[in-house]
Amino acid sequence: MRLLYGKDVINMSEGKVLVGMSGGVDSSTAAAILKDEGYEVYGATLKMWDAPDDAEVSAKTCCSLEDVEDARATAFKMDIPFYVLNMKSLFEEKVVQYFVDSYIKGETPNPCIACNQHIKFEAMLAKALMLEMDYIATGHYARIERDESTGRYLLKKAIDHTKDQSYVLYMLRQDQLSRLLLPLGKLTKKQVREIAREKGFINSSKPDSQDICFVRSGHYSDFIREYAKKEIPEGKFVDESGKVLGRNKGIFEYTVGQRKGLGISANSRLYVIDKNVERNEIVLGPREKTLVKRFYADEMNYIAFDKLQGAIKVWAKTRYSQREAEATLHPLEDDQVMIEYKEPQSFVSPGQSVVLYDQDVVLGGGIIRRFEINQ
């Protein structure tokens, strides 16, 4: 065993690895670390979306032409082969169409999780195996460890909890985890930038991307209207009794827990507490009505075990930037589950993902479908 960049390295000196390089500092540094550890490294940028020529482009998005060139430049500096893999058709089907359809149905999807599931860790791994490579790698901040007692691969939080990305990786399967390397899991962001500067990478100070890559202007509603190519009707704002409070701009413009941008005058602050898609109504109420005691999820993926055998204590997280809250996970029929918080929590939105933890271990997760407002 040897220690490199703060990481314990065991039998890490051989094998071919395809590194997904977005053009950012994280994936570039991940590739550099793996090369220094003795891997035969190949870089790959996934081409997923072409913005219209006249599109307003946000500096916070990823996957632009500039990002491709940054990835190519860092690969050249490391003297590693570099590919651009065309994933546009699959990305539109599995991510963009899913994003638009979910919003129109009144849900609040997470397209980055869908992209990870279908593109970065499904399609890229298939491509790597076709090229007779042993592993894929990304610049995500999380850790993978093998439990010797069970033989299962575990997904764990990053050492740097301020950068932890385990929430968006809960969908990984055992066969994918066994082929995935995450070299940044035991590093801080500061350490990553220091390594990039030492390597002379042009992106060592590049800001992190934040916005959705295919929504270049940052305006989700404008993109949905344009992509769907149909009129999205306005609806009503109502209170819990059904009293009309005003007009909403369309069911997809709002998410549960939202307070700002409602355009409603009231004596007290109002929040989105529910959405009635059939009636095209947004239900508003006081903040305490955003609190949820129980909610339900499906499309469950478990990492720490094969199947949920009975109710277990967990720590649940329903937003990327949210802290986990203590809860009980109950199995239901047809692979559905019910999550019951110990104390009611806000911001539980259908379409979002719930990720379940035991300390720093990701047990698994799924898609939220419905919730019960705390009474």
| Domain harbouring 257, CATH code | 2.30.30.280
CATH number at residue 187: 3.40.50.620
Q: Indicate if the pLDDT at residue 56 is higher than 70.
A: no
Tell me which of 199, 221, 244 is where a domain ends.
199
pLDDT score at 52: 56
Is residue 179 domain-shared with residue 30, that is, in the same domain? yes
Of the residues 182, 199, 216, the one at which a domain ends: 199
222 in a structural domain? no
- Residue 15 corresponds to which tokens in the numbers above? 């094998």
Question: Are 20 and 167 contained in the same domain?
Answer: yes
Among 246, 212, 110, 124, residue whose Cα is nearest residue 167: 110
Residue 375 pLDDT = 63
**Is the pLDDT higher at 7 or at 231?**
231
What band does 62 get if pLDDT is binned at 50, 70 and 90?
low
* Phi, psi values for residue 8, rounded to 5°: -75, 125
- For residue range 304-357, what is the model confidence (pLDDT) as tens digits? 999 999 999 999 999 998 999 999 999 999 889 999 999 999 889 999 999 999
**Ordered DSSP codes for 125-178:** HHHHHHTT-SEEE---SEEEEE-TTT--EEEEE-SSTTT--GGGGTT--HHHHT
d(CA 178, CA 50): 32
Does residue 280 sit in the same domain as residue 295? no
13 or 355, greater pLDDT: 355
Residue of 133, 22, 25, 161 whose CA lies nearest to 85: 22
Lowest mean pLDDT among 69-83, 183-197, 256-270: 256-270
Residue 76 sits in the same domain as residue 160: yes
Rounded to 10°, the helix 25-36/189-199 angle is: 70
Distance between CA 90 and CA 189 in Å, rounded?
31
- Assess if residue 35 is contained within a domain: yes
10, 25: one domain: yes
Across 101-107, average pLDDT: 92
Q: Classify residue 227: in a domain, yes or no.
A: no
Looking at the structure, do residues 52 and 168 belong to the same domain, yes or no? Answer: yes
| For residue 79, pLDDT beyond 60 | yes
Q: What percent of the chain has pLDDT over 70?
A: 91
At 212 the pLDDT is 78
The CATH number given to whatever domain includes residue 315 is 2.40.30.10
Tell me if residue 62 is catalytic. Answer: no
Enumerate the β-bridge partners of residue 68: none
**282 and 297 co-located in one domain:** no
For residues 43 and 21, the answer to whether their CB atoms sit within 8 Å is yes
The pTM of the full predicted model, rounded to 2 decimals, is 0.90
Res. 4: pLDDT tops 50: no
Q: What is the pLDDT of residue 175?
A: 97
Give per-residue pLDDT as tens, 18-44: 999 999 999 999 999 999 999 999 999
Residues 26, 149: one domain?
Answer: yes
Instruction: Indicate the pLDDT class of residue 7, thresholds 50, 70 and 90.
Output: very low
What is the pLDDT at residue 126?
Answer: 97
Q: Same structural domain for residues 174 and 256?
A: no
pLDDT tens per residue across span 163-175:
999 999 999 999 9
Same domain? For 193 and 55 the reply is yes
Report how far residue 3's alpha carbon sits from residue 367's, in angstroms, rounded to the nearest whole number. Answer: 39
Q: Which of these ranges, 98-102, 120-124, 202-206, 213-217, has the smallest mean pLDDT?
A: 213-217
| Per-residue pLDDT tens digits for 274-296 | 999 989 999 999 999 999 999 99
Residue 207 covered by a domain: no
Domain finish residue from 199, 219, 248: 199
What pLDDT does residue 220 have? 84
pLDDT of residue 51: 63
* Helix ranges, 149-277 (H): 174-177, 189-199, 220-228
Instruction: Tell whether 43 is covered by a domain.
Output: yes
C-alpha closest to that of 143 among 16, 15, 7, 43: 7
Same domain for 192 and 265: no
Q: What's the total number of domains in the chain?
A: 3
Is residue 97 a part of any domain in this protein? yes
- From the list 62, 63, 112, 213, the catalytic residue is 213
Judged on CB neighbours under 10 Å (0-12, 13-18, 19+), 47 is: middle
Residue 146 falls within a domain, yes or no? yes
pLDDT beyond 50 at 136: yes
Task: Establish whether 112 is a catalytic residue.
Answer: no
pLDDT, residue 50, reads 79
pLDDT at 3: 33
**285/306 same-domain check:** no
Angle between helices 97-104 and 220-228 (to 10 degrees): 100
Residue 204 in domain:
no
Query: Which range of residues forms the domain containing residue 244?
Result: 233-289
8 Å CB contact between 187 and 5? yes
